[in-house]
Amino acid sequence: MWEQLWESHSGRIIGIVAGIGLGIVYLLSGFWDMLFVALLVFTCYTIGKNKDLNEGPIIPWQRIAVWLSDRWRWLK
């Protein structure tokens, strides 16, 4: 059961663990940083989910470059 869970959701698990680990560092520095911890956990979860679903990079640099070169011809 754990192996199936790991195979299908490894990126999400790693993302959540990384977010919680980084969040603990910020929690030790103060209570109000918990909002930042929530942002860290959400960001790490999203990155892990993208890895699991093979959606590609979060920032599509190639698509942005094509769009910019279409808008501004002098960039080519």
Q: What does the pLDDT look like over 1-53, one tens digit per residue? A: 888 888 888 888 888 888 888 778 777 877 666 677 778 888 888 888 887 88
Taking alpha carbons only, the member of 34, 55, 37 closest to residue 46 is: 55
Six-digit token pair at 70?
């279409």
| pLDDT one-digit tens code per residue, 51-62 | 788 777 777 788
pTM check: above 0.75: no
Residues 6+ apart with CB under 8 A from 9: 52
- Position 45 scores a pLDDT of 83
Taking alpha carbons only, the member of 17, 26, 21, 24 closest to residue 45 is: 17
- Rounded CA gap, 62 and 71, in Å? 14
